[in-house]
Amino acid sequence: MSTRPADPGSPPAPPVPLTALLARRDLGLRLLAGPGDASLHWVHTSEMADPYPYLLGGELLMTAGVQLADPARYVERVVEAGAAALAFGVTPVYDTVPAELVDACARAGLPLLEVPPRTPFTAVARAVWRLMAEARLRELRRVTEAQQSLATAAARPAPVPAVLGALASRLGGRAVLFGTDGAVAAAGPEVPAEAAGGLAELAGLVSGGPGGPASASGEAEGLRLAAYALGGGDGPALGVATERLGPGDHTIAGVAAVLLSLLTAPHRGADAAARDGALVRLLLGASPAEAAAALGPGPWTVVHARGGDGTPFAAADLAASLGTGLVETEGAPGAGEGNATAALAEALGEAGAARVSGAAPASVRLLLPASVPVTARPGWFLGVSAPVAAGDLPAADRQAARALRRAEATRSALVRHRPGGLAALVDPDEAAAHARTLLAPLDEPLRETLRAWLSLHGNWDRTATALGIHRNTVRQRITRCTALLDRDLDDPDVRMELWFALG
């Protein structure tokens, strides 16, 4: 059996089957070479002679062959980069797809599509993104329904077997709860002996004590295996074995792991038990006012975190290490900041807890008693608000968000809110209105790039490293910002105004 950490590197949306794109008659695409069962994770257009440095893997790479000097070498580099398929647009450079390119793709097993003259590349890209959005919506619905099913199971008289049964049903496989002496409960169909042994091995790996991995995965007998530590990593573990285990399945298993952590936890103090009770009531649909009765009035600290190893359970592990647990998984990633702030104020403003988004990497909001010390955690960027009373939690949420942005821009593990300064002299509502107007032409990727670039004093290479993109992409985005804002970004006054607006 092969083992590895649970896969954090999958794209945030399910891949699009190439067959679904080929089925779009309005595009008129033709498969000229290679298999038609590839999976597309994104789209990229390039006319570079060697596109390798600009590819992430899994792309549908589109080109008109402007610099196609050596088709065989070009295909070799595209395959080395891990592209999923190649789309070649006929005209204006070529009247037909070069035969050498078709032969090279056939030999390499790389799907090659012909894009007719009437179909612009943008139409192909838009079709891929639309298919991806539809797949994402279906996946979010599946995950949401699974979460509701698991939460309902946790409220039954025998909650542990009920949660395992619901998990096995939702994943279509086997779910096993491992104690210190081996399996103690299971649900779902039996698996071959090698797979069962591999699952027990993974459970032992994640239960090795503090400092060990929060999750691990592997394969055996054609099944995908994964194990998740419960609690501090030196106790029970959850194992799952199924035919497929994608990001959504990891999310579902992570929710089950959090519930089982609460259900199997040893006796704790009255205060901790009260907080756990409030969290479970929130998870099961209680209003914040009902859950708040189990908790004190504050003061509270809001923490925003992003990073971890990309798995949902890593977020649960972070929350548990700070003495709380995850309440629910948000819907689509990228929701407006105002909605996120409102959600925190409404769902968490009166009842200490944590939330984790479905985005990758994991994005977590935590609400903690101010007495809980917050220190840097390996693999995470943390932004911490000032201690506040319950009525000031929306403001603390904004403080933590700004602190997290500074942490990411400066590559600091932990940044705390700095009170005072020039920003404190400006009316917050007026400042927010001005910032919205000033930054309206920029979408979120451009704002993120501009924020990082300004924080790093206009250094291209450091900005590229901080954002994990190519330096040429940074230049292109900053040039685009200059054009959309119609401002001179070399002017220090302009930079200062933008920095305050982005804060």
Judged by average pLDDT, the poorest of 110-114, 233-237, 326-330, 401-405 is 326-330
User: Which residue is listed with tokens 């789309």?
Assistant: 87
Residue 264 has pLDDT above 50, yes or no: yes
Read off the pLDDT of each residue in 377-402 and give the average, rounded to a whole number. Answer: 80
In the numeric block, which tokens belong to residue 456? Answer: 């790093």
Residue 212 has pLDDT above 80, yes or no: no
Residue 284, CA distances (Å) to 154, 171, 328, 397, 495 in order: 9, 21, 10, 24, 47
Read off the pLDDT of each residue in 239-256 and give the average, rounded to a whole number. Answer: 86
Dihedral of the CA atoms 267, 271, 277, 282 (nearest 10)? Answer: -150
pLDDT at 330: 40
Residues 373-384 have pLDDT tens digits of 888 877 788 899
Residue 417, CA distances (Å) to 304, 325, 380, 404, 426 in order: 11, 23, 17, 9, 17
Judged by average pLDDT, the poorest of 99-103, 286-290, 389-393, 488-492 is 286-290
User: Which residue is listed with tokens 């949660």?
Assistant: 163
In the numeric block, which tokens belong to residue 364? Answer: 């977590």
Residue 324 has pLDDT above 80, yes or no: no
pLDDT at 309: 59
Question: Where does residue 209 rank: exposed (0-12), middle (13-18), buried (19+ CB within 10 A)?
Answer: exposed
Identify which has the larger pLDDT, 52 or 245. 52
Share of the chain above pLDDT 90, in %: 25
Alpha-carbon distance of 47 to 477, in angstroms, equals 19
Judged by average pLDDT, the poorest of 58-62, 108-112, 144-148, 335-339 is 335-339
Omega before 92 within 30 of 0, i.e. cis: yes
Read off the pLDDT of each residue in 160-172 and give the average, rounded to a whole number. Answer: 91
Which residue in 142, 143, 133, 134 sits closest to 312, CA to CA? 143
Domains of the chain by range and CATH? Answer: 16-133 (3.40.1390.20), 156-264 (3.30.450.30), 270-419 (no CATH), 423-502 (1.10.10.2840)
Residue 316 has pLDDT above 70, yes or no: no
pLDDT at 463: 87
Which residue in 385, 372, 390, 391 sits closest to 271, CA to CA? 372
pLDDT at 486: 85
Q: Tell me the DSSP string of 126-141.
A: HHHHHHHHHHHHHHHH
Does the predicted model carry a pTM greater than 0.85?
Answer: no
Residues 47-99 have pLDDT tens digits of 999 999 989 889 999 999 999 999 999 999 999 999 999 999 998 889 999 99
Alpha-carbon distance of 100 to 96, in angstroms, equals 11
In the numeric block, which tokens belong to residue 423? Answer: 């920003």
Identify which has the larger pLDDT, 423 or 102. 102
Contacts of 437 (CB under 8 A, 6+ apart): none
Contacts of 428 (CB under 8 A, 6+ apart): none
pLDDT at 110: 96
pLDDT at 358: 44
Kindly indicate the confidence band of residue 314, based on its pLDDT and cuts at 50, 70 and 90: low
pLDDT at 349: 35
Residue 335 has pLDDT above 60, yes or no: no
Alpha-carbon distance of 14 to 138, in angstroms, equals 9
pLDDT at 85: 96
Contacts of 277 (CB under 8 A, 6+ apart): 294
Alpha-carbon distance of 315 to 295, in angstroms, equals 23
Kindly indicate the confidence band of residue 273, based on its pLDDT and cuts at 50, 70 and 90: low
Residue 245, CA distances (Å) to 178, 223, 224, 257 in order: 19, 9, 6, 15
- Mean pLDDT, the chain, integer: 78
Please give the span between the terminal C-alpha atoms of the chain, in angstroms, as a whole number.
Answer: 48
Kindly indicate the confidence band of residue 329, based on its pLDDT and cuts at 50, 70 and 90: very low
Alpha-carbon distance of 379 to 213, in angstroms, equals 12
The answer to whether the CB of 285 falls within 8 A of the CB of 267 is no
